[in-house]
Amino acid sequence: MLATMVLAGLLAATTTTEDAARPDVLIADFEGPDYGGWNATGDAFGEAPARGTLPGQMTVEGYRGEGLVNSFRGGDDATGELISPPFRIERKALNFLIGGGGWAGETCLDLLVDGRVVRSAAGPNRESGGSERLRWDAWDVSDLQGKEATLRVVDRRKGGWGHINVDHIVQTDAPRLPARASKAIALTHRYLSIPVKTGAPKVRARILDDAGKILREFDVELAPPGVEPDFLAFSDLEAQKGKTLTVRVDELEDAKALDRIGQSDADSQGTELYKEPLRPQFHFTSRRGWLNDPNGLVWQDGEYHLFYQHNPFGWGWGNMHWGHAVSPDLVRWRELPIALYPHQYGDWAFSGSAVVDHRNTSGFQKGDEPPIVAAYTSTGRGECLVFSNDRGRTWTEFEGNPVVKHEGRDPRLVWYAPGKHWVMAVYDEGAEPKRQSIDFYTSPDLKAWTFASRLDGFYECPDLIELAVDGDPSKTLWVVYAADGKYKLGTFDGKTFTPTSGPEKLAFRHGNFYAAQTFSDEPKGRCVQVGWANGVTFPGAPFNQQMSLPAELTLRTTPDGPRLFAEPVPELKELRAGSCEFSRTPLEPGAKNPLDRASHRLLSFSPRSRLQIPISSKSVKDIGRAEDYDREACEIELTFRPGAAKFLELDLLGTPLIYDVERQDVVCKQVRTFVPQVDGVVRLHVFVDKGSVEAFANGGRTTISVADLPAVAEPSLGIAAKGGTVMLEKLTVHRLRSAWEAGPSR
């Protein structure tokens, strides 16, 4: 195996004026409809270059143009080779973009002369997490000039990072190797502030202490010199105050980008935090950076704890930490410092859960209060435990980690009272034969776990809950669901889940909703669920993604048997700041919109709300100014009889929601779901926030969550009947104040 050769000799070599002026020679840019003479074998490369990211792959970035070599076709288990036509080496170096797996000799680009590998380069990734970004690399081939050669892209690896990405191979006299840059900082404040520009080249940054030990290591889209950052990311280094730290980046095209790294005693950017134009008013968002799966939902001593998957250094997925927020009421959240940091770069803190160990079965308790114990997936080690004796403010890692090691992730902890033991429901998978399952383990003390059983057919982020049917504690069923929210009902004896609801999974939540979890130790005895509203994006904002509204789950008898219902928690009513109500109002086709009065009485629209945002654009530069966008938050409760009408249409401040009477469907953008009339009546409970709509139908039997930044000139509320008269039994509109109005204090 040959590593990329050091180019010191080439860089130092004297270059003649004639040589310096020689133009680059393009070998391949992979922009054509096929590989253009390159020969592909196996099943990894297909018959033509990929057009970016392939199905099931993390977002591929950093390639040139539209096409590239990407051997992820069919996933990481596909293998093959791609061999170029022969060419003559005519320059001193070969530049190329490379990414993917870092397995020397298995996921690599080879240069062959006389059939022998004389240079080889692999991608940067071997551990879980990582980045699909291609980076420049180069070979010194000055000693090979004049020789005939071929290039070979190799994918012989199966499993994690078993693929290779290559693009834009060029012969050149100017090798392209980004230089290492560093900056020494005498730390006098708690935080380092790091300027981030979404879409800038992603680099790996390290913060080193005065002895050279890595304190933080992460990928970041560092704002280039002269470019205004989109936001500042903050790294908490309180324990290092008074010391001199070094920020080092190994692949930086302009070292001046480090000059704007500063210091601060607060991890906030100005006075407008939580007041940004795109900030949701009552859905939880992180102050900045990326957010996904809710983790560790638990209540203790007057506080609901919401942990979540978090990238504090970027608008997109990556650098997985556990963010942390607390609330007294599930509505007003106060964001705390990061709870869990990655064990090291590439060993990320993936999803998990938390419980209060009331009986101190773990022995972790110090003091009078029982500890919070969290289980999470350390991507490089397995399922790990951490515990806190100060209400989740600081965390200690269990010295015996990992407690479970397997091919899965996302442990959910549950106390099984009849057996007086703990249960871990955790996702697991197998390759031969391909399997996706929830595995159940048991433990007396949270530290030593024994495999008990397996339930096939579920994918990641499992939850396990027991609910009373119709509120009767003598009639309970257990519920198992995973990331997509589809569930089965059954019995559970502390070791094995036995389905009773039939072979097919049941669904009641639709749209932008994923990886939900319920709170442990909920003080009112409720089962409260929060999900990730995946795909609710905020282009141009310093934050990205949001949580769904907290909803209480219940099991109720229906003609189809017991089914899950989800209703928004009543604490949300505290946000109501004015209401307008209509009762027993017939709505005829073409009638004047009765909600005009509600719009003008309750909702005020600033001039900036007249500007349009092209919501189909994923590019920050294309959406215009985020500060020109506004949409007020409101809540609508509607009970109606469709009668002979064909449709009832709601205009939710620019977002249409339609009830299709014939099909008995609710339709909102891309989401369509069955909502049958009950005794001729349909009930809708709708929440409209900046960036999304959530609707609960017929008491929560069906729910939808829809991402939307409406492109309208004058957002308003509207309601109309089509094809017949609709009887509005009751229609109430509430204006909602922001949950951030008081500003969540530290």
Catalytic residue list:
293
Q: Is 419 helix (H, G, I), strand (E, B) or coil?
A: coil
Q: Where are the beta strands (DSSP E) in 288-381?
A: 289-300, 303-311, 321-327, 334-340, 349-356, 372-378
Beta bridge partners of residue 436, listed in sequence order: 429
C-beta neighbour count of 49 within 10 angstroms: 27
Burial of 468 (0-12, 13-18, 19+ CB in 10 A): middle
Please say whether the beta carbons of 27 and 145 come within 8 A.
no
The DSSP secondary structure of 311-331, one letter per residue, reads ETT-SSS-S-EEEEEEESSSS
The DSSP secondary structure of 204-258, one letter per residue, reads EEEEE-TTS-EEEEEEEEBPPTTS--SEEEEEE-GGGTTSEEEEEEEEES-GGGG
Please, which residues have CB within 8 angstroms of residue 670's CB and are 6 or more apart in sequence? 511, 706
**Rounded to an integer, what is the distance from CA 319 to the centroid of its chain?**
11
What is the SS3 string spanning 80-139?
Answer: EEEECCCEECCCCEEEEEEEEECCCCCEEEEEEECCEEEEEEECCECCCCCCCECEEEEE
Q: Is 636 helix (H, G, I), strand (E, B) or coil?
A: strand
Please say whether the beta carbons of 234 and 314 come within 8 A.
no
Q: Which of 657, 658, 667, 671 is nearest to 511 (CA)?
A: 671
In order of 207, 245, 338, the CA distances from 214 in angstroms are 6, 10, 18
In order of 109, 118, 141, 155, the CA distances from 113 in angstroms are 14, 7, 11, 20
Cα-Cα-Cα-Cα dihedral of 425, 429, 434, 440, to 10°? -30
Q: Tokens for 70, please give them.
A: 């990407």
In order of 365, 647, 648, 651, the CA distances from 662 in angstroms are 60, 8, 11, 20
Task: Give the Cα separation of 446 and 371 in Å (integer).
Answer: 12
Q: Tokens for 221, please give them.
A: 């889209």
Contacts for 395-401 with beta carbons within 8 Å, 24 or more apart? 395/339, 395/340, 396/364, 398/364, 398/447, 400/447
Q: Which of 469, 408, 433, 434 is nearest to 424 (CA)?
A: 408
Q: Which of 469, 453, 463, 454 is nearest to 484 (CA)?
A: 463
Q: Tokens for 434, please give them.
A: 């391909």
Please say whether the beta carbons of 98 and 166 come within 8 A.
yes
Q: Tokens for 563, please give them.
A: 């089914």
Peptide bond into 433 cis (omega under 30): yes
Q: Which of 656, 650, 635, 636 is nearest to 710 (CA)?
A: 656
The DSSP letter of residue 699 is G
Task: Give the Cα separation of 179 and 181 in Å (integer).
Answer: 6
* HSE (side-chain half, CA atoms, 13 Å) at 438: 27
Cα-Cα-Cα-Cα dihedral of 115, 120, 125, 131, to 10°? -100
What burial letters (b/e) apply to 706-729, b meaning 16+ CB within 10 Å?
bbbbbebeebbbbbbbeebebbbb
* HSE (side-chain half, CA atoms, 13 Å) at 528: 26
Helices assigned H by DSSP within 578-735: 596-602
